[in-house]
Structure 1
Amino acid sequence: MFTLDQFLQNKTWNPTLNDAGEAGKKILHMRLQVKPGTTPENLNITLSGHDLRVNFENKAGPEYKQVTIWPTADLEKLKTELRGDGFLHITVPMKV
């Protein structure tokens, strides 16, 4: 198992912790870079336990990225958003 510091060094998912405004709670924010022209219709996002998987359909064929979300994350509040900055943004509150 990784330490939280090791988890935060993941270069594929670019995780950061932000203050949630409550003692002992943070917001885990991850940014997964997507290929230009990616739309929500090209993505299939699934969560199995703490394993988050993002499947992409693109011209080169199907591809996926997967990460295990930190164990203290509140998965019921996980949110994803594909923004125009070239990243899929994932946010989830967690206890630290």
Structure 2
Amino acid sequence: MQVMIRWKLRPDEVDRELELLRAVYEELASVQPDGVRYATFQLEDKVTFMSLVDLATGPELLQQLKVFQRYRTNLDDRCDEPPVMTFLHELGAYRFH
């Protein structure tokens, strides 16, 4: 399953977001769960973020991580525009994998 998630933070929440995301990626690097590819990008406006997620075994893998649970707990409260998930259907890729 491949998804894109896009959300827009309140400007005063950007530093907190970056801190929480660092913790998520530190945990992913430590645990190294199989079947997960995850990347987050901060867009040019500095308040919009986008994640690309490839979960071979489903979203449960991420949701089991305590640090991800902590990250996700108040995300909607930190946003001007809440996360929107879009399922992706790959048509082709060059050196993306």
TM-score grouping bracket, smaller chain normalisation: 0.3 to 0.5
TM-score, structure 2 length as denominator? 0.36
TM-score, structure 1 length as denominator? 0.36
Higher strand fraction: Structure 1 or Structure 2? 1
Comparing both chains, which one has the higher relative contact order based on Cα–Cα distances under 8 Å and sequence gaps of 6 or more?
2
Higher helix fraction: Structure 1 or Structure 2? 2
